Amino acid sequence: MKTPAAHAAAANRAGQVRLPRPNGRVRVLGVDPAAAGPTGYGVVETDGREFHMLRFGTLAAARRGNRAGFAARLREIHELVCGLIAEYAPDAVAVESAFTALNMRTALLLAEVRGVVQLAAAQGNVPVSSYSPREVKACVAGYGHASKQQMQIMVRAMLGMKQTPEPADAADALAIALCHIHTSRARARLEAIAPRPSSKPGNRLE
């Protein structure tokens, strides 16, 4: 029986192409990577007006152990992301970037976690975007230093959820997906109104 990772790799080798969704819907997988704590994930879909949560959760925190244990942790995260991509076929994967205040050892471990997330996305032919914690908070809560609780409340409101998403790591992953959707829209609007360079000879710089 094929694992989720094997299914994703097979789809990639077959040149699978994601067709546009009905009514222009966009689906994004958000990932909140963690070196020691739970890794959060969340899938959000939007039609341009409303946002819907399709799934969210966490991969339990790794037990403290040796390097071999961390390698197994990386495999679990890779298989999780591959499985989510195979099941939900997102149009994009959004991942939180490393926090600059982390110590060197933690930052390096987190970079490895981000690496396996990006690898899984690449194997599924899904583009990846990264956002800093401050960018995500400013986009979703309107304040770059919003608390975990404030983020959970805003995510619940934006997605019309009946209950506050728990744990906070899963709510963060949903926030990352929302941040990508809003940022992509803003970028597209700017590109649409930006003046195009003139090809007239008189406007060329020599």
| Catalytic (active site) residue 96 | yes
Is 47 an active-site residue?
Answer: no
d(CA 175, CA 184): 14
As a whole number of angstroms, the distance between CA 176 and CA 155 comes to 10
CA–CA dist 8, 81 (Å, integer)? 10
Element holding 40 (H helix, E strand): strand 39-46
Residue type, 10: A
Q: Which residue has the tokens 């360079």?
A: 197
Q: For residue 172, indicate whether it is catalytic.
A: no
Q: Please tell me which residue in 79, 91, 96, 172 is annotated as part of the active site.
A: 96
Check 45, 169, 191, 206 and give the catalytic one. 169
User: How far apart, in whole angstroms, are the C-alpha atoms of residue 131 and residue 177?
Assistant: 10
Q: Please, is 186 exposed, middle or buried when counting C-beta atoms within 10 Å of its C-beta (0-12, 13-18, 19+)?
A: exposed
Q: Contact 35/111 with Cβ under 8 angstroms?
A: no
- From the list 32, 45, 79, 172, the catalytic residue is 32
Looking at the annotation, which residues are catalytic? 32, 96, 169
